Structure 1
Amino acid sequence: MSEHTAQLSSRTGRWLLYVVLMGVPVSQWPEHDFGPGSVPTPAERSRALTDLGFVFMDGAEWAWEECSERPDDDSSPVWLLAFVQVCSRDGGLS
């Protein structure tokens, strides 16, 4: 069973969920655009991942990280990145 990282990020007010597939061009990563608005709920994120063909790894939980646009400048704007470990529903690479 291949393990992947699903990430949720917000840029310019839109929330985007995508699954990182190593060795695959970024343009081909499975993704779901939640559009503008509030942070998608855990249930909404889970449904989106299921629709993309992925499920959470056993015991996996969402973790959040604050990322600075300019890491050496503490006055720089930040964006939020959430991530969780997933695997494909069918055990393949998806």
Structure 2
Amino acid sequence: MGTARLMEILCSRYGLPERLIEQERGKEQYESIANMVNDEGEDISSLLQQLEEHYDREQKDKQPPPPPLSANIEEFLRDLNQGFERPEGS
């Protein structure tokens, strides 16, 4: 599933042929895993949810802050915003 998504991004970014993307295989794998989890019961589902939440918390803490915008971009956004500001009293 991850490989299919990665190939989708690479094909889009670099103009590679879409036939390289195996989306159907990724969907089949996801459904297979979901069925196995459902068959095993609530304990496995609960464990997987806890693992996903733990992973998400770890990744959130590891993400560096976004780089600052360049002065040109900040100026562009300020200029763009001026066209959308409401006059006072509206």
Query: TM-score, normalization: structure 1?
Result: 0.20
Query: Which is richer in strand?
Result: 1
Between Structure 1 and Structure 2, the one with more helix by share is: 2
TM-score, structure 2 normalization: 0.20
Query: Rg bigger for which structure?
Result: 2
